[in-house]
Amino acid sequence: MTDENKKPVLRAERDPDDAPRGDKPKRGKDSGSRKGNGNGKTPAGGKPARKRRSLFGRLVVFTLSLGFLGAIVGVLGIFAVLNYYGQDLPDHTQLAEYDPPVATRIYAGDGRLITEYAVQRRVFVPVEAMPRQLIDAFISAEDQNFYSHPGLDFKGLARAVLTNIKNYGTGRRPEGASTITQQVAKNFLLTNEVSIERKIKEAILSFRIEQAFSKDHILELYLNEIYLGGGSYGVSAAALNYFNKSLDQLTIGEMAYLAALPKAPNNYNPYRNREAAIERRNWVIGRMLEDGHITPAEAERARAEPLTVRPREDTELVENGAYFAEEVRRELQNRYGDTGLYEGGLAVRTSLDPELQSIATRVMREGLLDYDRRHGWRGPVAHLDDLNDWSRALQDIEKPAAALEDWRLAVVLEVSADRARIGLSDHAGTIPFEEAKWARKWLENQRYGAQPKDMHDVLEAGDVVLVEPVSEEDAADGAPEAPDARTTDSPPADATDTYALRQVPDINGALVAMDPHTGRVLAMVGGFSLNASEFNRATQAWRQPGSAFKPFVYMTALANGYTPASIILDAPVEFDQGPGLPKWKPKNYSGEYYGPSTLRIGIEKSRNLMTVRLAHAVGMDAVADTAVRFGVFDDMPELLSYSLGAGETTVLRMTTAYAQIVNGGKKITPTLIDRVQDRTGRTVFRHDDRACTDCKGVFWTGQGVPSVPDAREQVIDPVTAYQMTSILEGVVKRGTGRRIAELGIPLAGKTGTTNDSLDTWFMGFSPDLVVGVFVGFDDPRTLGPRETGSSVAAPIFKDFMAAALDGKKTPFRIPPGVQLVRVSHDTGRPAMPGDSDVILEAFKPGQTPYNQRRLDGTTYAVGPGGVGDDTYADGTLDGLGGDAGGFGGGMDSGGLPGSTGGGTAPGYGERPTASGGGGGGGAPQAGGLY
């Protein structure tokens, strides 16, 4: 082969160790030690020899391979962790419907706030209604990259790590990297547990939340839920509590302060840590400037602002409505449960009239205090044997829970005949004898001792008593002198207060005021003080109404043919209660018997014997039916003792029953709540559920008032209801309630007193206001000799009506069908010339005295059997039978434990009907020939 045909050796085919030909080193003998033919060339047909890879190269390859493998394992591990912790997470989609716990507010009828019920004080504000700068302040402080990250801020996380490394060992608080989304996940769906597991779940939920909701929705959740200290949940509540402002009134500095609070509200409390609070606020302002949310000038002004906290003004609440509000709370709790009540954000419009409520509370307290003082002084709250350190000892004595707000505890330091010098926690004072002369010694069974002659009969040094400040003009004597410094602590020398001696009443009571046409409860008092007892005696105390029940017996008679002029015998009567039992002998309260009397007089004078005879004449089944229809009882035993008020009922039930008398016999349902709206404003309950198609969306253009149907049930004939109203008006004018007539206002009512004066009542009304009053001990015992509904309950009713009506005179409305006839009050006969006791009596058509058959020119038909019927002329009723027991307690006198009763008295015949009457068609009478 010629040289031209030889293939040139390329550089890539040369041995790497070959040097260029011109530089080829000369080899010695040792050079032949390599494989080859000794001339330095690769043997024919052989492979070129390779140099081994360096150690560094192998290390790099190994590291890269290991890293790649680790990355795969890491990804798989992360996937496994996410899969493991992502399986049982809370459902984040529930955040789509955000219903935060919001306070339920109770409003009076005039729109004023009564009280609030809440677990968290929060005011929800949609994000669209929040100022943009407020949102920017929170984003700058809490999550600068909020609008760009997917739930986790990796850039912020890295920055926080570097910052914490830099600050390590400086004592500064570690910087967090939780995003707003993560905080939402934690606050709504997780707990505050500090653990890696919780952080992993938080991260997973953050990704899911970001995918499911808009950024604005996440902000709305966050800004309404976040706790900002001071009992403030959400930014709106915080603005009110810290600055007494709404969100749109906040300055940049105030917004920045609120945004500074989420990390640690207590650390930046403006009272305890003012400097730290200002420093943190200024830091937020700097972040807002850095992020371009405010200008340098705005930042400078915001930093210069003083941090002025203006606590939220106390909302003006309706005073004295504690028992009413508590009753509303119970009803709401029964209707909507605890969650709906305390977290549902309900707006409850009640029927409460604040003015009437204030009057009711005042007159009830005054009435109980008046009764309590009449029955004597039960002694001091405590007694100190050693007066050397009385001031400190006084601080250790607890003020009685039922004591009124302006009552204070005081120590009697020295007693003289005309005064007692006292020491209070901060000064000295005096109790003139004129302010303690009521304090006769209390005796058992509500009796009392002799009138005290001077202060020594009432107090002694060391007594701890309740006192109330009074003006010196009202007190009998002047200013106190300083206590003796040798034996007592020394109060301020300039103290000149004058006080009256007080004690918490041992008795209690209730009052209900109602609109008789709608059943709306306008005022309610359930006791002397809710602080001492939440027991509501207006709705929860079941007590015997006594004679206050009698109108329902007499209305039953009026509905069955009797008239107000019907004659009933008031004479002794006794009933056989059964084998082995004594006879029941009811008596009048006075112990006297008054002979034949009109039905009207039986109510006006509250005659027990007349009531029992009448109840037996018309039948206790009919009386029970009336009582149930009026709502006095749910189920009434047909026992004669119940005609005298032996059953148990409540003040609210009795008030409702009397309301149905004055409103013309219309059925009403008592209510404290007019309307309930949920947090969105949707009405979920309305007491008046009548349909009014012409009431919605109508502007007044001169058209007539829409007509709303009256769907109330008629529980008794309107004429019968008016007849009873007229009779009860006579109770006030001439009967047991005549002390109320002093007001000169059209009023009607009935007293009630049970055996041994255990319960005292007055139930009464004007044409548009019905009021029930009860007074008695919680553990039933006598109110004392000569204490009745007229002396205890009626004065409270009188004081209430005097203030509530303020002289307004509205006559009682007379329904169609009533015939008014001039009659003699004492006899019920048509008035004659010269009669001095003439009244206008209400009769139904066909029942006037002129329609009755007159016998022998002077008398009227008597007895269901007609002329000559001498049934019960001797006043004895036999044959009532009864398997066991008796007729029950609770009458004005003479009651015995209950019995089934039964039977019809011999010779008495059938009870009269509405169309018939004794003695030739006249109105029926009860009691025989007289």
- What CATH class does 121-304 carry? mainly alpha
Q: Give the pairing type, strands 673-677 and 574-575.
A: unpaired
pLDDT-derived band at 8 (thresholds 50, 70, 90) equals very low
Tell me if 479 sits within 8 A of 472, measured CB to CB.
yes
Domain ranges for the chain: 121-304, 378-502, 523-670+714-921
pLDDT-derived band at 302 (thresholds 50, 70, 90) equals very high
What integer pLDDT is reported at residue 893 of this predicted model? 35
Within 10 angstroms of residue 817's Cβ, the number of other Cβ atoms is 13
**What SS3 state is found at 173?**
coil
pLDDT at 206 over 90: no
pLDDT at 165 over 80: no
Assign domain 523-670+714-921 to its CATH superfamily.
Answer: DD-peptidase/beta-lactamase superfamily (3.40.710.10)
Q: Of 32-46, 85-99, 401-415, give the range with the top mean pLDDT.
A: 401-415
Tell me if 482 sits within 8 A of 490, measured CB to CB.
yes
- Could you say which DSSP state residue 811 is in? P
What integer pLDDT is reported at residue 161 of this predicted model? 64
Query: Residues 25-50: what's their mean pLDDT?
Result: 48
Q: Give the pairing type, strands 428-432 and 497-502.
A: parallel
What integer pLDDT is reported at residue 360 of this predicted model? 98
The mean predicted confidence, pLDDT, of the chain is 82
Looking at per-residue pLDDT, the higher value among 919 and 451 belongs to: 451
142 catalytic per annotation: yes
What integer pLDDT is reported at residue 2 of this predicted model? 46
Q: Of 265-274, 697-706, 742-751, 909-918, give the range with the top mean pLDDT.
A: 742-751
Q: Is 437 exposed, middle or buried (0-12, 13-18, 19+ CB in 10 A)?
A: middle
What integer pLDDT is reported at residue 733 of this predicted model? 96
What integer pLDDT is reported at residue 84 of this predicted model? 56
What integer pLDDT is reported at residue 395 of this predicted model? 92
Q: Of 19-23, 99-103, 488-492, 529-533, give the range with the top mean pLDDT.
A: 529-533
User: Catalytic one among 140, 142, 236, 343?
Assistant: 142
Weakest mean pLDDT among 160-169, 221-230, 649-658, 848-857: 848-857
How far CA 164 is from CA of 260, 755, 796, in Å, comes to 19, 83, 73
What integer pLDDT is reported at residue 201 of this predicted model? 79
User: Catalytic one among 236, 351, 547, 643?
Assistant: 547
Weakest mean pLDDT among 231-235, 251-255, 337-341, 562-566: 231-235
178 catalytic per annotation: no
- Give the C-alpha separation, 544 to 185, whole Å: 59
- Give the C-alpha separation, 549 to 264, whole Å: 64
- Give the C-alpha separation, 926 to 930, whole Å: 11
Query: Residues 182-187: what's their mean pLDDT?
Result: 86
pLDDT at 734 over 50: yes
- Give the C-alpha separation, 190 to 924, whole Å: 79
Cα–chain-centroid distance for residue 730?
39
Query: Residues 145-153: what's their mean pLDDT?
Result: 86
| Structure token digits, residue 811 | 């006559």
Query: Residues 775-796: what's their mean pLDDT?
Result: 95
What integer pLDDT is reported at residue 889 of this predicted model? 35
What integer pLDDT is reported at residue 97 of this predicted model? 81
pLDDT at 33 over 90: no
pLDDT-derived band at 457 (thresholds 50, 70, 90) equals very high
Tell me if 224 sits within 8 A of 235, measured CB to CB.
yes
What integer pLDDT is reported at residue 488 of this predicted model? 40
pLDDT at 617 over 60: yes
Cα end-to-end span (Å), the chain? 175
Express as a percent the part of the chain with pLDDT over 70: 78
pTM for the whole structure: 0.77
pLDDT at 127 over 50: yes
Query: Residues 22-39: what's their mean pLDDT?
Result: 46
pLDDT at 561 over 90: yes
Q: Of 8-17, 74-83, 306-315, give the range with the top mean pLDDT.
A: 306-315
DSSP bridge pairs for 574: 876
CATH 2.40.50.140 for the 378-502 domain, yes or no: yes
**What SS3 state is found at 696?**
coil
pLDDT-derived band at 906 (thresholds 50, 70, 90) equals very low
